[in-house]
Amino acid sequence: MSEVVAPDGIPVRPIPLPGSELMSLAFGRIPAGSYGVHVHCSLEQVTVGLVGTVAVTMRAPSGEVTVAELGPDAVVVTPPLHTLSFANSGSEDARVLFICSPTYPADDADVVLPGQHRALTADELRRALGRQRQARADAIATFDARLAELEALLSIQDL
């Protein structure tokens, strides 16, 4: 798959995961510079450092701000509703692996761009509520299908 630019300005290359309905992966390439603050409404994002070092700034809904240095083999977990931004102060591109659950939507519908690390507005929270309700419904549908398949397999064996 080819590289695309995420809403925060970071070039990413999604990795197809045939058969996975609950998570998605993408390689991120973070050139020198600072990137826009964004929020994921419903998904959790795990960022794994691969090459280089980036500063990861997050603001929790409680207002607590965390800045982590993400280097090779380091991991940062960003829950939904936490603002998130990346900065690469080096001269070389940093590379990371993004793991998202539930899957990252191709239309970027899960992302809000608040412009800064701040509390979310009522409208942004309502959008997140809708996204989380949809994520829950999608997950339930996925597990219902898996349960039906398992029950069918068991009924065949019980014959």
pLDDT at 147: 96
159 has a pLDDT exceeding 70: no
> What tokens appear for 130 in the block?
């809708």
Burial of 52 by CB count in 10 Å (0-12 exposed, 13-18 middle, 19+ buried)? buried
Dump pLDDT digits (tens) for 1-57: 799 999 999 999 999 999 898 999 999 999 999 999 999 999 999 999 999 999 999
Dump pLDDT digits (tens) for 93-148: 999 999 999 999 999 999 999 999 999 999 999 999 999 999 999 999 999 999 99
pLDDT at 158: 75
At residue 101's C-alpha, the angle toward residues 45 and 128, to 5°, is 80
CATH code assigned at 150: 2.60.120.10
pTM of the model: 0.93
Residue-number span of the structural domain to which 151 is assigned = 4-157
pLDDT band for position 156 (50/70/90)?
A: confident
Q: How many domains does the chain have?
A: 1
* Torsion over CA: 111, 42, 109, 20 (sign): positive
Least confident of 43-52, 64-73, 81-90, 150-159: 150-159
